[in-house]
Chain A
Amino acid sequence: MGIVSPGFHGRRRKSAAELPPGQYLTNDFPVLSAGPTPRMREDDWEFTVTTETGREHRWTWREFLDLPAETPTVDIHCVTKWSKLATEWEGVSLDALLADVETEADFALVHSYGGYTTNLPLADLVEGQAWIVHRYNGEELAPEHGGPARLLVPHLYFWKSAKWVHGIRLLTDDEPGFWESAGYHDYGDPWREQRYQGD
């Protein structure tokens, strides 16, 4: 099992000047949720990638755990203005999950158990930028934080890191997700403070 730590930023304290604009530092891990917390048994969990041609790639929990694990340590930035530094995760990179997926798609629509969705360019899910994570701080990911598994895309606002992730649809045309269809930015780069449509 290969253990790598891409994006390791260390544990040193950062000053506010090193946070994205408008963010404040927190040591808590606030729980934000747009609905009831799904309680998924790992035996029932499944992750699906569906290409623009309709081809489906599926992983059971066991098949997912058999993929090479990585342990990213990353800073996360919530659009509600809190940032949390050097969070430690374990999971599988999207590069590994998409390795055998043939696609010409430019966009991805991530969907979750419970109905949540979020959209982002496919280019932002690959090249060591995104993971499906199932452990946080050395423990199983708690349901309120998205367990059994969530998406982790730390270079975008954290609403893109969908909890209770169930699958990804690869799309030729961009399709807005849950918050993106109600005023939030399509891309959501915290360093450019892309919180809302038009930012």
Chain B
Amino acid sequence: MTARDTGTGYVDGNALAGPLGELFALVAMDVTAATGRCVNCGRTGPVAALAVYDRAPGMVARCPGCDHVMLRLVRTPDAAWLDLSGMVWLRVTTER
């Protein structure tokens, strides 16, 4: 449940539940169609075009233009770690 404190001007993170839930549902349908922007060189392109190194302790997706790490995914027995710090944004198309 979202807690609204009228004194601060913001609500807590529970407000993200719906919008993020919708986003991850869309990502689950086809993440490769999403587009991302490289934080290093600014190149924009679909996730499907990233250079993925998967013979490693995790998956490492690099920009096809400059080799900068755009996404890392590490799966442990009880958690998944997603690092998107190499992306300015990830754009997922929604229904109009």
A184 close to B57 (CB less than 8 A):
yes
Q: A30–B55 Cα gap in the complex (Å)?
A: 9
Count CB-based A-B contacts (< 8 Å): 48
Q: Is the interface of A mostly helix, strand, loop or mixed?
A: loop
How many interface residues does B have (CB within 8 Å)? 17
Interchain CB contact under 8 A, B58 and A35: no
Chain B residues in contact with chain A, CB under 8 A? 51, 53, 55-58, 60, 62, 67, 69, 72, 74, 76-77, 79, 81, 83
Q: Kindly state the separation between the CA atoms of A31 and B56 in the bound complex, as whole angstroms.
A: 9
Could you list 5 further interchain pairs (A-B, Cβ under 8 angstroms) beyond the known A36-B51, A184-B58?
A34-B60, A35-B53, A36-B62, A182-B72, A183-B79
Q: Which of A34, A36, A159, A183 lies in contact with B81, CB distance below 8 A?
A: A183
Q: Taking CB as reference atom, which chain A residue is nearest B62?
A: A35
* A32, A182, A184 interface centre (most CB from chain B within 10 Å): A182
For B81, the chain A residues whose CB sits under 8 A away are 182-183
Min C-beta distance of A80 to chain B, whole Å: 6
CB distance from A128 to the nearest CB of B (A): 27
